[in-house]
A and B are shown apart, each in its own frame.
Chain A
Amino acid sequence: MFTHMVSPLTPYLPVAVVLGLAGLLAVLIPALTTRLGPRSVNEIKSATFECGSDPIGSARQRFAVKFYVVALLFIVFDVEAVFLYPWAVNFKALGWFGYGTMVAFAFTLVMGLVYIWKKGALTWES
C-alpha cells in the first residue's frame, strides 16, 4: 500500500530539511532583529553611503562586453563538465572504450580552449 510505495521524492528528504531550515531562518532572523534590536533612524544613517561622499547616479551601470565573452565561455565549459560527471561515475565499467570516447569529446574542446587562450579572449582587455 501507500506507505511501501517507492517515491521519487525519497532521496530528497535532506533537501527538504535544508529548504525548511533555510525558510525558517529567513523568516526568523529578520523578525527577531526588527523586534529585538533598538532602532534610531535619522537622515545621515539612511543615506546610501556613509563614507563622507554623497552618492552620485545610479548603481546600475552598463557592463562592458568583455564580461559577456567570459560568461559565454564559462557556460560552454560548464556544459562540457556536465558531460564528464556521468562518465566519471562509470569510469571503470566503461574501460578503455569509454576513455576513447571521452578523449575524442575532450579533444575538440581542448582545441577550443587553446584557441581562446591564444586568441586572448581570457585576458582582461582594458
Chain B
Amino acid sequence: MVVDVVGFLPHATIHLPGPFRYLWLQPICCANSPPRMSPEQILFWVFAVATVFSALGVVVLKNPIASAMSLVATFFFLAGIYVLLWAHTVAALQVLVYAGAIMVLFLFVIMLLSINDVGPAVQLSFSRLLGAVATAALLAALVLAFRKLPTSDLAWANDPARLASFGSIKEVGAIMYTQWLFPFEAVSLLLLVAIVGAVVVAKSRI
C-alpha cells in the first residue's frame, strides 16, 4: 500500500505575475492539470529559499562555528531538494557524508586555527571589483540560460513501477557496477591518492 503523505494537504492556487512566470514549475505528473501549487512545489520553494539563505549565512556570519553550522543546514536543505528530484540515494549520502563526515572535518579545521583572530577587514580593490563583476556576469548568464528552459514531462513520469525504484540504492548499484565501471575504479585511485596526500601534508613526522 502506498501511503499518500501529502495528498491531503490543501492545494494552493497561486497566479504569478508575468516576470515571475518562469519560476513556475509544473509537477512532473500533471502537466495538463490547471496550474496550482503541488506539495512538492511548496516544499521545493521552502528548501530552495532556505538553501540560499543558509548558504549566504556561511559567507556572511562572523563566527566560523556559526558559518559551519549554517553549512550543515545548507546540506540538509539540499538533501531535501534531492528527494524532490527522486534522487533518494544522493539525498541519503548528502546527509551521511557531507552533513556528517565532511562537516566534522570542517569543524576540526576551524578548531585548528585560533578562531579569535579576526582576519583583515575587507577592502575594496581592483581585483575584488573585477571578481564582483565576473560573478554578477556569471549569475546573469545563468539566469538567462535557465529562464527560457522548457518544462517537459519525464517519459516515465506516469510509470509507478519505475518511480518506485528510481533513485533507490539498489538501482544506483545496478547501474554503477555494470555501466559505470571505469569511473568507479578511477575513484578508488582518487581515494588512495587522497590517503597518501593527507598523511604527507598533515602528519607531523613523515
Contacts and interface: CB of A to CB of B under 8 A. Distances in A.
A–B proximity contact (CB within 8 A): yes
Nearest to B7: A3
B112 A65 contact: yes
B173 A119 contact: no
A70 to B, nearest CB: 9
B101 A78 contact: yes
B56 to A, nearest CB: 24
B181 to A, nearest CB: 6
Given A9-B39, A62-B111, A63-B108, A101 B199 contact: no
Interface string B1-22: 0111111100100000000000
Interface string A40-77: 00000000000000000010101101111101111110
B134 interface: no
Given A83-B184, A108-B192, A89 B169 contact: yes
Given A7-B6, A71-B108, A101 B177 contact: yes
B112 A63 contact: yes
B202 interface: yes
A116 B199 contact: yes
Interface in A92-119: 93-94, 98, 101-102, 104-106, 108-109, 111-112, 115-116, 119
Interface stretch (B82-90, B125-133, B138-146): B82-90
Interface of B: 2-8, 11, 27, 29-30, 33, 38-40, 43, 83-86, 88-89, 93, 96-97, 100-102, 104-105, 108-109, 111-116, 160, 163-164, 167, 169-170, 172-174, 176-178, 181, 184-185, 187-189, 191-192, 194-196, 198-199, 202-206
19 contacts: A2-B33, A2-B38, A6-B2, A6-B29, A6-B160, A8-B83, A8-B167, A11-B88, A60-B116, A63-B111, A72-B198, A73-B195, A76-B194, A82-B97, A90-B177, A94-B178, A109-B188, A112-B192, A121-B203
B84 A8 contact: yes
| Interface size, A (range) | 35 or more
A90 B96 contact: no
Interface of A: 1-3, 5-13, 16, 58, 60, 62-63, 65-69, 71-76, 78-80, 82-83, 85-90, 93-94, 98, 101-102, 104-106, 108-109, 111-112, 115-116, 119, 121, 125
